[in-house]
């Protein structure tokens, strides 16, 4: 049983690593070396998150995510990156109730943070 779990774990680790590198590579090609800005990631928040994180927020969401300042603040003070990076089915994963965002969108938002949370 332990062996099976270990093999499964290794497999998951390998597949995660592979897809992450591929996705980052893709994003870099798409952006041709330019920094990721809010303009590149806003569609995710507009299409998915504002179903609850509207202004005023609905369905028990604690804050809005309807513009640059609100999303930036949530990255800096509310663990937004952690929430979208959790595993499928894990407590606290956003969007609430799933499905998890496509890995490429998670990577793009992560890169936006690494690039300094620029607006434009
Ligand atoms: C179906 C409704 C719903 C959707 C869609 C949703 N959320 Fe949430 N979100 C909630 C609720 C309810 C909470 C409060 C409960 C909790 O913290 O898990 C919350 C909490 C959070 C928190 C933690 C806030 C804090 O101060 O602790 C973050 C960050 C967050 N959401 C980000 C997002 C992002 C980013 C998206 C889109 C990818 C998203 N949410 C989509 C309902 C939603």
Q: What is the pLDDT of residue 82?
A: 98
Best of 62, 73, 78, 93 for a ligand 1 pocket test (most atoms within 8 Å of beta carbon)? 62
Please report the pLDDT score of residue 33 as a whole number. 78
Pocket of ligand 1 (CB under 6 A): 48-49, 51-53, 59-62, 65, 74, 78-80, 83-84, 92, 94-97, 101
The predicted pLDDT at position 47 comes to: 98
Instruction: Give me the residues of the chain with pLDDT under 50, please.
Output: 12, 29
Residue 109 CA to residue 106 CA, distance in Å, equals 5
Q: How far apart are CA 106 and CA 19, in angstroms?
A: 12
Mean pLDDT of the chain: 86
Residue 117 has a pLDDT of 98
Q: Are 113 and 102 in contact (CB under 8 A)?
A: no
Q: Ligand 1 centroid vs 26 CA: distance in angstroms?
A: 28
């Amino acid at each position: 049983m332990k062996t099976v779990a270990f093999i499964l774990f290794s497999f998951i680790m390998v597949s995660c690593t592979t897809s992450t590198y591929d996705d980052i590579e893709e994003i870099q090609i798409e952006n041709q070396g330019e920094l990721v800005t809010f303009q590149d990631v806003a569609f995710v928040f507009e299409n998915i998150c504002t179903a609850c994180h509207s202004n005023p927020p609905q369905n028990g969401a604690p804050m809005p995510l309807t513009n640059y300042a609100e999303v930036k603040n949530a990255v800096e003070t509310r663990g937004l990156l952690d929430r979208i990076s959790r595993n499928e089915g894990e407590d606290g994963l956003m969007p609430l109730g799933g499905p998890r965002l496509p890995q490429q969108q998670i990577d793009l938002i992560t890169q936006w943070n690494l690039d300094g949370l620029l607006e434009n």
